[in-house]
A and B are shown apart, each in its own frame.
Chain A
Amino acid sequence: MSSNQTGMNAPAANQSDTIQRKKGGRGTMIAVIAVVVVILLILVVGYSAGWFKSSNSTTNNSGCTSPASTTISGAGSTLVAPLMDAWALSYSASTVNYAAVGSGAGISDITGKTVDFGASDAPLNPAQRTAIPSPGVLTIPESIGAAVPIYNLPSLSAPLKFTGQVLAAIYLEDITNWNDSALQAINPGVTLPNAAIVVVHRSDGSGTTFAFSSFLSASNATWKNTLGHATTINWPSGEVGSKGNSGVTATVKSTVDAIGYVDINYALTNAVSFGAVQNPAGNYIVANLTNIASAVKDSNPVFPTPTGDWYNFTVENAPGAQDYPIATFTYLFVYTDLGVAYSTYTMDKAQNLVNLLLWMVGDQTGQGQTFAAQNYYVPLSTAAMAFDTSEINSITFNGAKITTCVPS
């Protein structure tokens, strides 16, 4: 190559001659070899994948014996992903692979039986429930979240107060200006700017939107009759959509006079300040982990049947004086009979999955719920834990009961 610089004739011409000569007449052979190489590559990838599967080991626990470790895969909600990651790191009896692909994709994955459990911030809607194949899935409340209103009014210092009625009117564009009399009436003494409200909502489907729109439905009849509650809403025009909690926060933070809503976990993790919301007792509550936990406890939820319709189940508008009104569960979905649902399942794998689920909803030292607070999640209430445990214990393998051995 370096000799090119010293060459006396034009080496480039020589090279192109050579290539042209090689090109002629060998097309078929080259194509055949190309196909063979591609097939070989695919085979190599396939073998290596199969190789991974066959590795096995045995793990013992104090007190009882659990089967050899298997890989358990879950997919869904991005909101619970940090908690899932913390769980996957700490849980040793099985390998937990959680893909934070979004709640909707998680529901698609459990419907298609490509994962062992799905996770969603919102329960199955009627269409999604119909799509679930036999033998059907259990809906397991797994952690607790809440929607909080955020806004960008640089002139204000104390948290602004909102009611469900006012929030609904803002998102319906009945209230369009920050100094509207309805807002002023619940914020006496606050100098509200004379500025048009920039309304920001989630542009992607979201459990936070589900919780927020459920609350607005309960607060405002027009909302309930026109827009309802769902993970995506047919928002009025003139409003701004942003993707994800991070997108809504970024848009509100960079847009003066904007209002938005995000999940409490996101707001706490990222130190976003948010407004107070009036609860049924008439108090204006700034959400925190304590008053969300008490809200779930005080709402004294009557859980639907595990395989039933959870779409209208709510823990919002709890009666306690200090309860935050926009609390919500996030959910896991698992098939009721693992042997019937998956043709490839073994009793060992079924035991491993049930052990993991029981560990996730348990609050003994080292178990799942004890990880909640440090990751800014609200741990399950005692009633929810009892409900979950009995639900998970009802899971069968080809009709047979599954022996459990929950690690601590």
Chain B
Amino acid sequence: MTRGNPFPTFPSRKTRAVSKWGDRIFLVLTAVAAAGLIAVLVALVVVLYHGSLPTINALGLNFLYTLTWNPQGNVYGIVPFAIGTLLTSAIALLLAIPLSIGAAIFLTQHAPTWLREPVAQVIQLLAAIPSVVYGFWGLIVLVPIMRYDVDPILANVLGWTGWFSGRHIGLDVLTASVVLSIMTVPTITAISKDSILAVPRSQKEAALSLGATDWEVSRRAVIPYARSGIIAGIVLGLGRALGETMAVTLVIGNANVIPTSLFSQGQTIASLIANDFFEQETPLELPALLEAALFLLIITLAVNIVARWIQARFQAGRAVGAE
């Protein structure tokens, strides 16, 4: 970096002076952006907490273990919606993870090169579709399929478990979970694909030279190496599932009850807020909804922290993390 550098790529003195100021402005802008993000999160928590003080004072811990939600009777319990949120997200991930990882492995390991880029583009496009479109598609297309084709089979084959009992009309927890899984697949696939692509060739070649089959290469050489990236993708997908509003509202049936089977109507915290936020019957209902929002924020944070912890544990002992 001495003056009179012979390389033509090196900026002149004048340009350097300008870029010095440019860098300062750029740094200030990035600092503003970062400070703004943190300020938004803090403001969010403060507003939610302040807004929910009336219910926190009136109901206390009752809010956390009351099993019903009835604004007319001034009874507010988060349990039905906490169960609805965690249940739909869990089933969604159960369906989405094998599908996404399978797709990612196919795209990176087995698909012909000319196919990879177009399919990857389509998957990214899927991630950008607004959730209300997924919800409307779910209502118009998926609900009848679930009601007349899928649910009867599930009821016959798995009815004995109790998870698939009762009347099935397609507008239920199961359909909401399926819609959520479809919405999370693109996110998990895209990130898994990138982290699998980051696996060094030598890793695979070593496995192959030991006589491993394709399955064994994926199972023992590729996935373990890319695991932390895949988990990061799953966490992002889970975030989308936990907070999803419109798509769930359209297909879950919006009943403020604890689901008794996957064919029950239910409600997630996000769909509850979407439904009731603009119309409150009693003064305590809005604070209760804000407390529900705060609870959702805490659940999401907790899930993320747990996931990061798992990720860190998997990463431990590995020389190079897959990014």
Contacts and interface: CB of A to CB of B under 8 A. Distances in A.
Contacts of B1: 14, 17
* Interface magnitude class on chain A: 35 or more
Interface string B1-29: 10000011100000000000001100110
B250 interface: yes
Interface string A1-25: 0011011110100100111001100
A250 B139 contact: yes
Contacts of B147: 255
A125 interface: yes
B255 to A, nearest CB: 6
Interface residues of B, number: 45
A187 to B, nearest CB: 23
Contacts of B279: 102-105, 204-206, 231-232
A31 interface: yes
B41 interface: no
A31 B31 contact: yes
B189 interface: no
A34 B28 contact: yes
B44 interface: no
Contacts of A247: 249-250
Nearest to B251: A251
A3 B8 contact: yes
A37 B28 contact: yes
Nearest to B23: A22
A7 B9 CA distance: 6
A203 B275 contact: yes
Interface string B235-267: 000000000000001100111010000001101
Interface string A97-118: 0000111110010000000000
A254 B281 contact: no
Contacts of A31: 31, 35
A240 interface: yes
A344 interface: no
A37 to B, nearest CB: 6
A45 B147 CA distance: 53
Contacts of A243: 249, 254, 274-275
Contacts of A174: none
B250 A127 contact: no
Interface in B29-44: 31-32, 35-36
For A26, A104, A128, which residue has the most chain B Cβ atoms within 10 angstroms? Answer: A104
A33 interface: yes
B278 A102 contact: yes
Interface in A17-73: 17-19, 22-23, 26, 30-31, 33-35, 37-38
A234 B283 contact: no
B140 A254 contact: yes
Contacts of B8: 3, 6
Given A206-B279, A231-B279, A238-B167, A251 B139 contact: yes
Interface string B64-106: 0000001111000000000000000000000000000000000
Nearest to B282: A127
A127 B283 CA distance: 7
A231 B278 contact: no
Contacts of A22: 23-24, 27
Contacts of B182: none
Interface string A252-280: 00110000000000000000000000000
Contacts of B139: 250-251, 254
B7 A7 contact: yes
Nearest to A107: B280
Given A37-B32, A38-B35, A254-B143, A241 B27 contact: no
Interface in A215-259: 228, 230-235, 237-243, 247, 250-251, 254-255
Kindly list the 9 A-B residue pairs having the minimum CB-CB distance in the complex, ordered from nearest: A205-B279, A102-B278, A241-B254, A203-B254, A104-B279, A7-B9, A34-B31, A3-B9, A104-B280
Given A35-B35, A38-B32, 14 more contacts: A18-B23, A22-B27, A37-B32, A38-B36, A102-B279, A105-B280, A127-B281, A131-B283, A203-B276, A239-B265, A241-B254, A243-B254, A247-B250, A255-B171
23 contacts: A3-B8, A3-B9, A4-B9, A6-B9, A8-B7, A11-B9, A30-B31, A34-B31, A37-B28, A38-B35, A103-B279, A131-B283, A205-B280, A228-B72, A230-B72, A232-B281, A240-B169, A240-B255, A241-B265, A247-B250, A250-B140, A254-B143, A255-B169
